Chains A and B, each alone.
Chain A
Amino acid sequence: MTTDVAKPGPARSGLPISILLAGLSIGFFVVVALATGEIAQLSGQGITGLLQRMVALGLVAIGQTFVILVGSIDLSVAALISAVAVLASHIMQGDPAMILPAILLCLGLCLAVGLVNGALVAYGGINPLIATLGTGLIVQGVLAASFGSLQGAVAREFQAIAYGGLLGVPYSLLLLAILSLAAAFVLHRTLFGARIYAVGGNPDGARLAGIRTERVTLSAHVVASLFAGASGLYLAARLQSGTPWVGRDGIYDLESIAVTVIGGTILAGGKGGIAGTLAGVLLFACLDAGFNMLGIDAFLKQVLRGAIVIAAVAVHAVRTKGHVA
């Protein structure tokens, strides 16, 4: 809105969004635990449980952050999570020898869906909301129609991902931590990351600067699908056998978008990052845990979550005095 007036850059004012958000979330959790006398929640085990709540949503949301940063969006993740969970349990049929083939096949499916999404958006010029809604519906439809013949359960050994751990730290948390760091590294330190911010921030400018924007968008979609696949595999391990509704029931499509935006990534693309997204996921985990301790009923919980999503995004709007989402 200015020509001459130099504004202080929004990034410089106050704490980074991620730290602020994480602090508030943890504060809420601690206060509720103390108020309700559930001190056990504050033990090492309680905290681990809290963090484990982050895994499924966290994994999808990391992928969602990539596509939103590039200026696109992915609504097909929920269906893909279900598909992966079902496919993994069907292929394994309890047999540990089939773990690796199952994982590879699932990731292959994700790669294919990601390529289709990316091709539709980047090369077909189809609005990403519509394109990914469409692929999501197709995946969900095929899955529901063929589920009768896709029964099965994952191998016991595979369930270690959800229930096993190293020195008291669950493998699933390690997985989330490693993939988060890797994603943050890619976004901030690699060429690919720089290109994602460029394409999301100004597609025409990026093209003029010689970036092959279509490829970047396509790759981001592949990343999003692969992360959805990781989330689906984790859920299969936790639930032992996947159903066609795990993704939809977890509202992973909309929630992954919500936490990404809460974390300060703007829907227009080109601004944001993984740290904020993880803070958004932590907020959701703390809210869930806190509401459980308070014994709030399921419907009121939805209302409160909705209100908090709006409040969080509104706070960004005020902080940056501009257009956020």
Chain B
Amino acid sequence: MMAALSMSGISKAFPGVRALDNVDFDCLPGEVHAICGENGAGKSTLMKILGGSYRPDAGTIRLAGNAVHFSHPRQAAEAGISIIHQELSLLPHRSVAENIFMGREIARHGLLDKAAMRDKAARLLGRVGARIDPQALVSSLSIAMQQLVEIAKALLLDARILVMDEPTAALDERDSRTLLALVETLRRDGVSIVYISHRMPEVMAIADRITILKDGRKVWTRPRDAAPVGEIVRAMVGRDLKDFYPARPASASGQLLLSVEGGANAALRDVAFDVRAGEIVGVAGLEDSGKAALAQALVGDAPFSSGTVTLRGEPVTLRAPRQATAAGIGYLPGDRKREGLALRQSVRDNALLTLRSMAGLFARPQRGAFASDVIDGKLREMDVRAADFGQEVGTLSGGNQQKAIIVRWLAQASDILVFVEPTRGIDIAAKAAIYETMRGFADSGRGIVVVSSDMPELIGIADRILVMHQGRISGALPRDASEEDIMHLALGLADQPHREARA
């Protein structure tokens, strides 16, 4: 069969990095071809070259045998290539329908046909299983919903080649399953799908072939049956990864650190739970369950309007992030671009942000914990990969950006860290490193609250899992809970007293 897409000898260098080095890649009609690789391996860069965002330094792209050269994303789109980019590219102040049709508006003689766009948008949203009003403003949607809008936008084109760059990173279990089912139908329609994900179970479930990139080079391409997970990980990371999740302490957790009683606000009701020293408490739930609102309340970003929070036995008020930081609660937000990073500033400045913001106005900038080599050491310890830590953080691969934020909070002495989707978009080796860091933090007598949509992650890392449904904690599960148990509570199917008795 003639490959729908074949890229050969692709190379691309950025200042200070060889992002791609002589990479070959092809995809057949009706095939799902997954690309795996560490953060910064060059996966997104390869796809941006395919999409006409970057021009390759060397190499050729053929579509159904014909050589093509793209100098603008528009040409790639016209050639039947549709890309769901890793970074969201929506217009926050425009409606969902306007976003889906961005750049491809339905118009006659330059006049928009808004009704037709609304109808078609509603149909596309239905196809991705999203219950979203086409007239809603994008800024009012959660990231997961925005991701679904991106997917609908990509489907508009009826592309022959569909690239999905970490489409499920922001999605919960239910939405991910819908997406995978959609990929299945598209494949049956003969669409070639390039699928990039750090979630191994997904890759194993849908890929026909798998290509591994490492440091900009292709390691191998194999059919899925010839690529067990262990081999994939070894090829990606360059070594075996045993003990993906760190061992949990055998002893019971220590003294009470944080306790919330009757916490409520617009998005939450009756929230009550404790965090003990040495404990990692997981928070699970579907997208709209209030799990992120819980994190925001804990860090004073969207505070509780009633209820009490005590920290080490002392009642605290958490009305603003600064109060929370001062009280010793750190926050790792889920949307790193919007809430976490100063994209134009250096990696180092980003890592120092919290430390600096809590310091006195007259602290000496290059002394003590502020010194470049101290923070550089911490960045290296976390394995943040950058050509130079003075580089703009926005040019790092997504996973490395996330690691830079984690360093920020580790640099600040906190008692409790609230992590929201800590490993979103992060490769498997870095995930292991982050889990290790989290466990180390907890073992030093402090506590972690981790909100995640990645159920295997919660099961692997948390000592206890709180499951949320409609703004309430619908149950708490012990550490060896199963995915089914969590889903059961997350969907609100369980009667609560029964579950709590078990926990």
Contacts A4-B142, A8-B140: A211 and B94 contacting too (C-beta < 8 A)?
Answer: no
User: Looking at the complex, which one of B88, B90, B104, B420 makes contact with A210 (CB distance below 8 Å)?
Assistant: B104
**How long is the Cα–Cα vector from A193 to B73 in the complex, in angstroms?**
21
Is A191 in the interface zone, CB < 8 Å from B? yes
Contacts A6-B141, A192-B110, A194-B98: A210 and B291 contacting too (C-beta < 8 A)?
Answer: no
A250-298 interface (Cβ within 8 A of B): 266, 270-271
**How long is the Cα–Cα vector from A224 to B425 in the complex, in angstroms?**
42
Q: Which residues of B contact A307 (CB under 8 A)?
A: none
B285 nearest in chain A by CB position: A4
Q: Which residues of B contact A207 (CB under 8 A)?
A: 53, 72-73
B93 nearest in chain A by CB position: A271
Is the pair A3, B91 in contact by a Cβ cutoff of 8 Å?
A: no
A selection of 13 A-B contacts at a CB cut-off of 8 Å is A3-B420, A4-B293, A7-B139, A10-B137, A11-B137, A194-B102, A197-B93, A205-B88, A205-B91, A210-B103, A212-B72, A270-B93, A270-B94
Q: Which residues of B contact A191 (CB under 8 A)?
A: 105, 107, 110-112
Is A202 in the interface zone, CB < 8 Å from B? yes
**How long is the Cα–Cα vector from A197 to B92 in the complex, in angstroms?**
10
- Type the 1/0 row for A1-18, where 1 means its CB is closer than 8 Å to any CB of B: 111111111110000000
Is the pair B91, A210 in contact by a Cβ cutoff of 8 Å?
A: no
A186 to chain B, nearest CB (A): 9
Q: Which residues of B contact A211 (CB under 8 A)?
A: 74, 102-103
Is the pair B137, A9 in contact by a Cβ cutoff of 8 Å?
A: yes
Is the pair A208, B73 in contact by a Cβ cutoff of 8 Å?
A: yes
User: Looking at the complex, which one of A4, A9, A194 makes contact with B289 (CB distance below 8 Å)?
Assistant: A4
Starting from the known contacts A3-B292, A9-B137, A202-B91, 9 additional A-B residue pairs (CB-CB under 8 Å) come to A1-B302, A6-B140, A189-B114, A190-B107, A198-B94, A209-B73, A209-B77, A210-B103, A271-B93
B115 to chain A, nearest CB (A): 12
Residue among A195, A205, A208 having the largest count of chain B Cβ atoms under 10 Å: A208
Is the pair A197, B107 in contact by a Cβ cutoff of 8 Å?
A: no
Contacts A4-B293, A5-B293: A205 and B104 contacting too (C-beta < 8 A)?
Answer: no
Is B143 in the interface zone, CB < 8 Å from A? yes
User: Looking at the complex, which one of B103, B141, B339 makes contact with A209 (CB distance below 8 Å)?
Assistant: B103
Residue among A1, A2, A198, A266 having the largest count of chain B Cβ atoms under 10 Å: A2
Q: Which residues of B contact A6 (CB under 8 A)?
A: 140-142, 288
**How long is the Cα–Cα vector from A210 to B292 in the complex, in angstroms?**
34
Q: Which residues of B contact A8 (CB under 8 A)?
A: 140
B51 nearest in chain A by CB position: A208
**How long is the Cα–Cα vector from A8 to B139 in the complex, in angstroms?**
10
B282-327 interface (Cβ within 8 A of A): 287-293, 296, 301-302
**How long is the Cα–Cα vector from A319 to B435 in the complex, in angstroms?**
41
Contacts A190-B107, A194-B112, A198-B103: A4 and B292 contacting too (C-beta < 8 A)?
Answer: yes
A200 nearest in chain B by CB position: B91
A223 to chain B, nearest CB (A): 15
**How long is the Cα–Cα vector from A247 to B293 in the complex, in angstroms?**
51
Q: Which residues of A contact B103 (CB under 8 A)?
A: 195, 198, 206, 209-211
A314 to chain B, nearest CB (A): 20
Is B334 in the interface zone, CB < 8 Å from A? yes
B405 to chain A, nearest CB (A): 15
Is B85 in the interface zone, CB < 8 Å from A? yes
Q: Which residues of A contact B153 (CB under 8 A)?
A: 209
Q: Which residues of B contact A194 (CB under 8 A)?
A: 98, 101-102, 105, 112
Is the pair B89, A209 in contact by a Cβ cutoff of 8 Å?
A: yes
B137 nearest in chain A by CB position: A9
Is the pair B110, A5 in contact by a Cβ cutoff of 8 Å?
A: no
Q: Which residues of A contact B51 (CB under 8 A)?
A: 208
**How long is the Cα–Cα vector from A179 to B106 in the complex, in angstroms?**
25
Is A201 in the interface zone, CB < 8 Å from B? yes
**How long is the Cα–Cα vector from A204 to B83 in the complex, in angstroms?**
14
B66 to chain A, nearest CB (A): 20
Q: Which residues of B contact A210 (CB under 8 A)?
A: 72-74, 77-78, 103-104
**How long is the Cα–Cα vector from A5 to B143 in the complex, in angstroms?**
10
Is the pair A5, B91 in contact by a Cβ cutoff of 8 Å?
A: no
A277 to chain B, nearest CB (A): 16
Is the pair B102, A9 in contact by a Cβ cutoff of 8 Å?
A: no
Is B335 in the interface zone, CB < 8 Å from A? yes
**How long is the Cα–Cα vector from A191 to B109 in the complex, in angstroms?**
9
- Type the 1/0 row for B118-138, where 1 means its CB is closer than 8 Å to any CB of A: 000000000000000000110
Contacts A194-B98, A202-B89, A204-B89: A5 and B267 contacting too (C-beta < 8 A)?
Answer: yes
**How long is the Cα–Cα vector from A211 to B333 in the complex, in angstroms?**
31
Is the pair B104, A209 in contact by a Cβ cutoff of 8 Å?
A: yes
Contacts A4-B290, A194-B98, A201-B94: A9 and B53 contacting too (C-beta < 8 A)?
Answer: no
Q: Which residues of B contact A201 (CB under 8 A)?
A: 91-94
B472 to chain A, nearest CB (A): 14
Q: Which residues of B contact A271 (CB under 8 A)?
A: 93
Q: Which residues of B contact A9 (CB under 8 A)?
A: 136-137, 139-140
Is the pair A197, B91 in contact by a Cβ cutoff of 8 Å?
A: yes
A260 to chain B, nearest CB (A): 15
Is B17 in the interface zone, CB < 8 Å from A? no
A9 to chain B, nearest CB (A): 4
Is B68 in the interface zone, CB < 8 Å from A? no
Is the pair B296, A2 in contact by a Cβ cutoff of 8 Å?
A: yes
Is B358 in the interface zone, CB < 8 Å from A? no
Is the pair A197, B94 in contact by a Cβ cutoff of 8 Å?
A: yes
A171-205 interface (Cβ within 8 A of B): 189-195, 197-198, 201-202, 204-205
